[in-house]
Amino acid sequence: MADQRREQGDGRDPREGAQDVPRGRGRTALPEEARAWEALVATARRTVAEGLVVGTSGNVSVRVGETVLVTPSGVPYDRLTPDDITGVALDGRQVLGTLVPTSELPMHLAIHRSTDARAVVHTHAVHATAVSTLVPELPTIHYMSAALGGPVRVAPYATYGTDELAENMLRALADRTACLLQNHGTMAHGATLDQAYDRTAQLEWMCRLWLTASSVPGLSPTLLTPEQLDEVGEKLKGYGQR
Catalytic positions: 104
Tell me the β-bridge partners of 96: 26, 87
**Amino acid type, 74:** G
Reported as half-sphere exposure (CB side, CA atoms, 13 A), residue 77 has a value of: 24
d(CA 228, CA 63) in angstroms, rounded, equals 34
Kindly give the interhelix angle for 31-49 and 193-214, rounded to the nearest 10 degrees: 20
Helix (H) or strand (E) holding 4: helix 2-7
Question: DSSP per residue over 117-183, as a string?
Answer: -SEEEEE--HHHHHHHTT-SB----SGGGGGGTSSPBEEPP--TT-HHHHHHHHHHTTT-SEEEETT
Cα–Cα nearest to 204, from 190, 222, 186: 186
Phi, psi of 185 (to 5 degrees): 165, -145
Kindly give the interhelix angle for 163-172 and 105-114, rounded to the nearest 10 degrees: 40
Q: How many residues does the chain have?
A: 242
Cα–Cα nearest to 141, from 225, 235, 199: 225
d(CA 12, CA 144) in angstroms, rounded, equals 42
